Chains A and B, each alone.
Chain A
Amino acid sequence: MKYVVLVLVFFCKCGLADAFCSLRDPVSQINTLFPSHERHLSLVKKIDNQTRQIVQRKLPNNELHFGELGQHTLYVVSENSKVVGYVHVRSEQSHWGLVEIVWAIDIEYKIIDFVFQRCRSPEKDKLINSNFKSAIVGKSFEQLKLYLDKDGRNGNQQLYDQINIRTDLVNVVLRCALKTLLLTEVVWQAELNSLYE
């Protein structure tokens, strides 16, 4: 019996307070972000305390919410038998609870696009209708980091000079984009590289 328990503990990789039957793939969001894609491939990886320390080192003053730890999925999206990008859902704490954003990333780890999966901020529509998206599309982690203020959490003047909106939701989405690009490289890069070998 003790060996059975040991095997069970070895496989334990829990990262969800709710039962796993509540998991849903972001199917409609992937369709929106990659309208002509043919298929996607899930890669499930664990985001643990070691990853949390890397985030704290590379993005000082940024914490991972407990819901961001545990096992998460990166979707590898293909079109004409060729990988065209990755999709990852990441959440970020805001004044209106967790904001969940579905990110589309290209194979060079740059932002292609994003859609809100869940956002209860009253500023959501204003942000969608602003030119904020064009300021972050095509940017890598290092390029986006140049938009961070000294506090490491808010957008700086360089960003706000480019966009026609000034709201805290901009800072939330910026932090989420940075974490997404960082985590995608740190957690999934080795496995993604093996797809191209």
Chain B
Amino acid sequence: MLFKHWLVALFLFMFAPPVLADFSDNLRFAIDSSFRLNINDITSVTSRNYFLGMDTHKVFNDGNRDIGYAVAQLYYTKLSDQTPYPFMFSNKNDEQLIIREAHYNILTSRKSLLPNIRLGHFTLPFGLEDSQDTNGRLLDYGHGKNLGTKLDWGILANKVHTNVEYKVSYSLGGKDDPKSKEGSSVFTARVSTLSHLDFGIGLSLYKAKLDQKNRKRVAFDLKYYLYNWGLKSEIAYGKVDDNSGLYWLFELNRRTVNEQWKVYCHYIFDDQHQQKQSEQTFIAGARYTPNNNLDVSVQLNHQLQHPANKKELRLMQMQLRHRF
């Protein structure tokens, strides 16, 4: 299985575009290592995660214009006493080679009405995560929990216009596996105002058959930055089979003037009507980046209310990350 992943990633990265220039031109390459400590205050279990990988980005051109770019991220990931463990692992101490983002992006010409096309393993374009990438960070907008998977193999169309940008994707629903499983498929779309603006809104749609469940979700998100403060919110309504649910995330963040420190807090309300259960969670986090290489993060996750049939969660996480 891993061998097949390697081949697909290698194919996307190396052979899909007509490479004319020297391969190291316009290439970004980093070795990304991190150590994460998770302290569960309820179960008194402390788990650890180790990540060591390569992160690459390369722009391809035909000598006159950019014709595409590729992103490839391959990580050795080791769990230690992690419960529950993510779907791609087979036990709480497992280790795996994990492909995160791995895609090639065909860029159409500026005046073409045709969209740019992304092929490969990508983050589903939905909600706040689409405008702020959280790859490899403690900060998280709940993609995996809310959509069933954060990344999937498929095709994505996108374009940035004068006032709006959009992404529409169809993926196979195999999550880390580039194939459909038991009829799985995922359709995701997001249209938003330009992502670099201080005020932005977005509308996202999601329809999937994943893990033999029918999922639907619609979300509205907004972000607003004022001085060194940032405010973000996402409100979503969705169904998993016949269970409908309402979800609301609110974030307040602040950066220091030199941007070395960022602190944030989340309030998350997750209500599932049919099961008569709701969760309320408060998360507080801080990130310190003294330079381009080092990143120290800490996050506290405290459940204010939890469903009767689930264990309460109180989690403290710390992460040390180094990129060079």
Contact = CB atoms under 8 A, between A and B. Distances in A.
Interface of A: 8-9, 11-29, 31-32, 37-44, 65-67, 69-71, 73, 78, 81, 93-98, 117-118, 120, 122
Given A20-B28, A28-B162, A31-B162, A67 B228 contact: no
B64 A17 contact: no
Nearest to B103: A21
Interface string B161-184: 110010000000000000000000
Q: How large is the interface on B (under 10, 10 to 19, 20 to 34, 35 or more residues)?
A: 35 or more
A27 B160 contact: yes
B123 A38 contact: no
B71 interface: yes
Interface string B19-60: 000001111111110000000000000000000001111010
Contact of B59 (A38, A44, A65, A95): A44
Contacts of A78: 64-65
A96 B289 CA distance: 18
B61 A41 contact: yes
Contacts, number: 145
Contact of B258 (A12, A44, A81, A93): A93
Given A18-B137, A42-B26, A66-B290, 18 more contacts: A13-B29, A15-B28, A16-B30, A17-B291, A19-B101, A20-B56, A20-B57, A24-B196, A27-B160, A31-B110, A37-B110, A38-B110, A40-B110, A42-B66, A66-B291, A118-B198, A120-B227, A120-B228
Contacts of A27: 160
A12 B29 contact: yes
Contacts of A28: 160-162, 165, 194, 196
Contacts of B225: 120
A41 B255 CA distance: 33
B135 A19 contact: yes
Given A11-B29, A14-B292, A37-B110, A19 B73 contact: yes
A83 to B, nearest CB: 10
A13 to B, nearest CB: 6
